[in-house]
Structure formats: C-alpha cells, structure tokens
Amino acid sequence: MKIKVNIFFLLLPIAALLFTSCEKDNDKVIVLPPIDTTLQSMQVNIGVNYDTVVFVSLTSGVIKSSAVKDYDLAFDASPESKHIYLNTGKYMFAWRTQCTDMINTDTTGLNWLTDSDNMLGDSTVFGSNTTSSGDVNQQIVIIDRGKFSHIGSDRYRKIQIVSIDSNTYTIRYSKLNNSDYHEFVVTKDNAYSQVYFSFNNGGQMVSFAPPKDQWDMMFTRYIHTYWDEPLQFRYYSVNGVLSNRWNNITCAILKKDSLPGYMPFESFNHNDISSYPFYSTGNIIGFEWKYFNFNDNKYYITPDIYYILKDKNDQYYKIKFYDFYNTTGVRGYPAFCYQRIL
C-alpha cells in the first residue's frame, strides 16, 4: 500500500526552524562601546633637531613618522586641484620667472619667496598654476631646495608644469645648467591629501604621509613668515603643529589675553563651542603654545592657551600642551593632553 505524504507538512518544521533562527538574529542586542571622555595625554618624538614629521590621530595615536628631508614638492592629490607645495621644513624657497624656455631661462634678479604656513593652495609660490585664460601656467619656477640640506649645483632646480588633469601632473625639470634634465608624471591619489616628490635620483615619488582620513595633526618643522620684519629676519624656521585641512579638520584657539570670554581648559564644555570661531587654515594650532627663553636657552609652555579641534566626524576635542622635553630633559618631545567634548 502506498502512503501519500504531503510535502507541505515535511517542510513546515524546517521553515519554522529557519524562521526561529532569523528571529533570534534580529533579537540580538548590539552593545556599543562607551564614549571615551577621559582626559588623555600623548607625547611625540620630533627629534632634537626637529627633523622628524609625526602624524597623529586623536582616536588612534601616532599613525606615521617620516624624515623632514625626504621630499621636495607636495602635489595636491584631489582630482580638481592644481596646487603644488614646497617642503618648507627644508627651508625651501622659489621664484616664478616670466620665461617659458627651459633651456634659456633668465635667472637674474630672483626674488625668493616661500609658501604660507596656512596650507592654502593659493598662498603658495606656485599659486593656482593657471593663467588668466584658464590654461596651465608654464612659466619656469626656480627652486632653492634648502641651504641646510643641499650644497652646490644640487641645491637648485628649475621646473616647468607641462600639464595638469584630474589624474596627473606632468612636469619637466633640470639643474640650472640644464644638466640632469627629466620629464616626470606625478599621479594623483585622492585617498591622500598630497602625493610627494623628490628630485633625488633623477626624480622619484616618496611615501611620506598616511591616507588623509587617518590623521588629524602633524608635528613638523616649517617656515613662518613675519611680514613686518626686515627681509633678513622675515622667514623663520619653527616647529609646531599643522592640522589636516584636507580631512575637514577645523580649529579654534583660546588665549586669555586676546579672546573675550576665555575660560579655563577644565571648564570648557560643549555649550561653549558656538561662542568661538573655527578656522579651516592649517596653522591655527601652530607653534605659539611654547616660547623660547634666551636667558637659559630653553623652551617653556605658554600659559593660558589651548585649542579646540573638530574632526571629520564633527567630534570636538580640547587640546592643551604641557611639555616640550622628555623625562631626561631632551628637547623635541612635545606633550599634550586632550579630551573629547560632549
């Protein structure tokens, strides 16, 4: 005798089991980690001669360290950008000539300039790299690679921007006597704020900074310009902090003597944020959190000054420096405390 079995009833327990499994998954409770609002501290090592660049994240700590001297030019890596930056950590200067002839470039009467430390592309010697008609500016730029890092003919280069598009910069360059001539294609990478190029070995790309979404600040040496000073004292090599404006980092500064409504670091909370202007320029934190005492040749931390940093996720942190020396008294170890503001 044949027994007929309804397949519906055979599948029903399986379906019930699957449904129960799905229902259990949906019922899982996801426990989020607590938000860390404790006061934390960090100390970085930029070297006794400030020859190391340190990239820092306020959520992950030190991300990467690189040697200041590793590159000459930084090319803005976003598809729409045309900006080129000097490595002012090497005390670099440049001058744009009126000439477009690489072989017969007139190098007389050079008026050396350097980039602003605000990190804005239009405040660089290279500028927008476009003419008034929108074409690429092919005027030759003469470059001083830095008197502390290079000597003789290796110190100077002349460079011409041949073309710029959404993916690449094409450049040609040589020494001033036309030797060591090369043409080179610099490839953009939008995962980074800038891509880095060195004239060493005929020209090469250099791995220097981490991806732009991984860091908030860099501790570095750079040039600050005192425009009110005579020319011989105008360009000053400093060591300080530049923020990552390519990752939408903005900063505010609180100084007791110059900002109305100043309050102690410990008292500042989220309700106070709207009272202060935030700036997207890279030099708001800068170097004035310390000062040099010529009587004993030592650095001291500037009292009653601190900073508020807003990161890419619109999270706010207050930052205050408290030392520039390590426990054995060696300089070049800036230390700061920081705290997330809720």
Q: Are residues 61 and 147 in the same domain?
A: no
Specify the DSSP class assigned to residue 166: S
pLDDT of residue 12: 44
Q: Are residues 219 and 326 in the same domain?
A: yes
| Distance, CA of 27 to CA of 172 (rounded, Å) | 63
Q: How many residues does the chain have?
A: 342
Q: Are residues 49 and 143 in the same domain?
A: no
Q: Name residues whose C-beta falls within 8 Å of residue 287's C-beta, 6 or more positions apart in sequence.
A: 224, 238, 239, 240, 241
For residue 272, the Cα-to-chain-centroid distance in whole angstroms is 27
| Distance, CA of 54 to CA of 220 (rounded, Å) | 7
- Could you report the per-residue pLDDT of 144-172, keeping only the tens digit for each? 999 999 999 999 999 999 999 999 999 99
Q: Are residues 254 and 195 in the same domain?
A: no
Looking at the structure of the chain, the number of domains it has is 2
What is the three-class DSSP state of 173?
Answer: strand
Q: Are residues 84 and 123 in the same domain?
A: yes
Quick check: 124 and 233 in contact, CB under 8 A? no
The two tokens of residue 168 are: 């690449």
pLDDT of residue 4: 46
Q: Are residues 82 and 174 in the same domain?
A: yes
Angle at CA of residue 207, ends 57 and 67, nearest 5°: 75
* Cα separation of the two ends of the chain: 77
pLDDT of residue 223: 98
pLDDT of residue 30: 56
Question: 291-294 long-range contacts, Cβ below 8 Å, gap at least 24?
Answer: none
pLDDT of residue 29: 58
β-pairing, 194-198 vs 73-76, is antiparallel
Q: Are residues 330 and 218 in the same domain?
A: yes
Residue 22 lies in a domain: no
Quick check: 82 and 129 in contact, CB under 8 A? yes
Residue at a domain's end among 159, 181, 206: 206
pLDDT of residue 1: 43
Which residues in the chain show pLDDT less than 70? 1-35
Residue 105 lies in a domain: yes
Give pTM, 2 decimals: 0.88
In 3D, which of 14, 40, 57 has the Cα closest to residue 216? 57
| Distance, CA of 86 to CA of 121 (rounded, Å) | 11
Specify the DSSP class assigned to residue 125: S
Q: Name residues whose C-beta falls within 8 Å of residue 212's C-beta, 6 or more positions apart in sequence.
A: 191, 192, 193, 244, 246, 247
Q: Which domain holds residue 324?
A: 40-67+213-223+240-341
Residue 8 lies in a domain: no
Residue 12 lies in a domain: no
Q: Are residues 58 and 97 in the same domain?
A: no
| Distance, CA of 72 to CA of 196 (rounded, Å) | 7
What is the three-class DSSP state of 113?
Answer: strand
Residue 194 lies in a domain: yes
Which amino acid, one-letter code, is at 260?
P
Quick check: 162 and 168 in contact, CB under 8 A? no
Residue 28 lies in a domain: no
Quick check: 323 and 335 in contact, CB under 8 A? yes
Residue 305 lies in a domain: yes
